[in-house]
Chains A and B, each alone.
Chain A
Amino acid sequence: MSALATTAQAAGTMTASTPRRGLFARHPELFTLMLIVLVSAVVGSINQNFFQISTIFDILRSSTVTGLFALGVLIVLAAGGIDVSFTAIAVLTMYAITKAVLGYWPEAPFFLIISFGALIGALLGACNGFLIHRLKAPSLIVTIGTQYLLRGFLLTFVGTLFFMVIPQSMDGFGRIALLNYTSASGATAILPASVLVLAAAAAVTWFLLNRTLMGRAIYAMGGSLSIAERLGYNLRVVHIFVFGYVGLLAGIGGIVHASTIRLASPFDLVGTEMDVIAAVILGGARITGGTGTVTGTLLGVILVTLINNVMILAGVPSTWQKAVIGSFILLAGAVFATRKKK
Chain B
Amino acid sequence: MTANDSPQSATTNAQPFLDVIGIHKRFGGVHALRGVSLAIMPGEIYHLLGENGCGKSTLIKIISGAQPPDEGDLIVAGRRYHALKPLESLAAGIETVYQDLSLIPNLSVAENVALTEQLVATDGRLLRQFDRAILKQTATHALEAVGLPSDADFQGTPVELLPIATRQLVAIARAIATKARMVIMDEPTTALTQREVDNLIRVINGLRASGVAVLFVSHKLDECYAIGGQVIILRDGEKVAQGPIVDYTKAELMQLMTGKQLDGRRYRTGAATGEVVLQAKHLGASGAFEDVSFELRRGEILGLTGLLDSGRNELALALAGVSPADRGELLIDNEAPHFKTPADAIAKGIGYVPEDRLSEGLFLDKPIRDNVVTAVLNRLRGRFGMLDASKGDGLAEHTIKDLQIAAPNIMLPVQSLSGGNQQRVLIGRWLAIEPRVLVLHGPTVGVDVGSKDTIYRIVQRLAENGLAVLIISDDLPELLQNCDRILLMRKGHLAGEYAAANLEEAALYRALVGEESQEVAA
Q: Which A residues contact B (CB, under 8 angstroms)?
A: 1-5, 7-11, 13-19, 21, 211-214, 216-217, 219-220, 222-224, 227-234, 237-238, 241, 289-291
Contact = CB atoms under 8 A, between A and B. Distances in A.
Nearest to B132: A211
13 contacts: A2-B309, A5-B308, A5-B309, A8-B309, A11-B517, A18-B151, A211-B132, A212-B126, A212-B128, A213-B115, A213-B127, A214-B128, A216-B111
Given A21-B161, A223-B106, A1 B154 contact: no
B126 A238 contact: yes
Contacts of B162: 3, 16, 19
A229 B193 CA distance: 30
A258 to B, nearest CB: 30
B377 interface: no
A74 to B, nearest CB: 14
A18 B130 contact: no
Contacts, number: 136
Nearest to A212: B129
Interface in B106-121: 106-107, 111, 115-116, 118-120
Contacts of A291: 106
A2 B161 CA distance: 12
Contacts of B64: 230
A16 B154 contact: yes
B30 interface: no
A2 B288 CA distance: 10
B104 A18 contact: no
B107 A223 contact: yes
Interface residues of B, number: 55
B517 to A, nearest CB: 5
Residue from the set A1, A7, A289 with the largest chain B CB neighbour count within 10 Å: A7
A227 B102 contact: yes
B217 interface: no
B157 A19 contact: yes
Given A8-B193, A8-B196, A19-B161, A232 B119 contact: yes
B163 A7 contact: yes
B124 interface: yes
Contacts of A229: 86
B164 interface: yes
Nearest to B121: A213
A232 B116 contact: yes
B66 interface: yes
Given A19-B162, A216-B111, A223 B104 contact: yes
A14 B144 CA distance: 10
Contacts of A17: 149
Given A14-B148, A223-B107, A8 B307 contact: yes
Nearest to B149: A16
Contacts of A217: 126
Interface in B138-165: 146-149, 151, 153-154, 157, 161-165
A216 B102 contact: no
B14 interface: no
A204 to B, nearest CB: 12
Contact of A16 (B87, B100, B118, B169): B169
Given A17-B149, A211-B132, A227-B102, 7 more contacts: A4-B164, A5-B309, A8-B307, A213-B119, A213-B125, A220-B107, A233-B119
B225 interface: no
B127 to A, nearest CB: 5
A10 B147 CA distance: 12
A11 B126 contact: no
A212 B130 contact: yes
B163 A1 contact: yes
A4 B163 contact: yes
Contact of A234 (B100, B106, B124): B124
Contacts of B130: 211-213, 216
Interface string B39-67: 00000000000000000000000001010
B353 to A, nearest CB: 21
A237 B61 CA distance: 23
Residue from the set B86, B105, B126 with the largest chain A CB neighbour count within 10 Å: B126
A232 B120 contact: yes
Contacts of B85: 232
A213 B120 contact: no
B363 interface: no
A230 B107 contact: no
A18 B163 contact: no
A91 to B, nearest CB: 29
A23 to B, nearest CB: 15
